[in-house]
Amino acid sequence: MAKESFKLVAGNKKAYHDYFIEEKIEAGLCLAGTEVKSLRSGKCSIKESYIAIENGEAVLHGMHISPYEKGNIFNKDPLRPRKLLLHKKEIYKLFGVMQKKGYTIVPLQVYFKGSLAKIEIGVAKGKKLYDKRADAAKRDSAREMDRAMKEYNRG
């Protein structure tokens, strides 16, 4: 079996900063032709986007796909809501998680798997300010230890 190609289009580092990601799920994206072409050229942003369950469907809001230059009349609205392709069981599971207090569903990255546009979504619980400070302190201490080990190994 041939190895499938994986091309990252957009990532959401802010999600890892603002939330504890408890579970990751891969979903398909329902896109128009010009949107796919624009995605292939890497013109996409998911920083301020979120996922809602509406009428039994998972819908991605706030994802910005720049209009395709050669698309003229076929271009869609860059911020239009986009349907996510998930199994019904997965949608029900996500809906159940969203009912819990403090949980939300955020997009983590958009990528191409073979020729298909995919999005990785995460079930996330919001971080408090002190959690963010603790993460920053842990990162800083790890950086200091790495520097100290480099100095120690050099001399």
Residue 35: which CATH number? 2.40.280.10
CA 32 – CA 37 distance, rounded (Å): 9
Q: Look-up: residue for tokens 């128009």? A: 32
What pTM did the predictor assign?
A: 0.74
Looking at the domain assignment, is residue 112 inside a domain?
yes
Q: What is the pLDDT of residues 67-97, one digit of tens each?
A: 877 767 667 777 788 888 989 998 888 888 8
Whether 55 has a pLDDT exceeding 80, the answer reads yes
Answer yes or no: is 99 within a domain.
Answer: yes
Alpha helices in 28-128 (DSSP H): 33-40, 88-99
Answer whether residue 138 is part of any domain: no
Residue 134 lies in a domain: no
Return the number of other C-beta atoms located less than 10 Å from residue 47's C-beta. 14
Considering the chain, what percentage of its residues have pLDDT values greater than 70?
A: 95
Q: What is the pLDDT of residues 9-30, one digit of tens each?
A: 888 888 888 888 888 989 998 8
Q: Strands across the sheet with 82-85, in order?
A: 6-11, 103-113, 116-126, 19-29, 82-85, 57-61, 50-54
Distance of CA 90 to the CA centre of its chain: 17
Kindly state whether residue 124 falls inside one of the protein's structural domains: yes
Q: How far apart are CA 35 and CA 39, in angstroms?
A: 6
Number of separate domains in the chain = 1
Q: What pLDDT score does 1 carry?
A: 47
For the chain, the distance separating the N- and C-terminal CA atoms, rounded to the nearest angstrom, is: 49
Say if residues 58 and 51 touch (Cβ distance below 8 Å). yes
Within 19-71, residue ranges assigned H as helices are 33-40
Range of the domain at 87: 6-128
Pick from 50, 74, 71: nearest CA to 60: 50
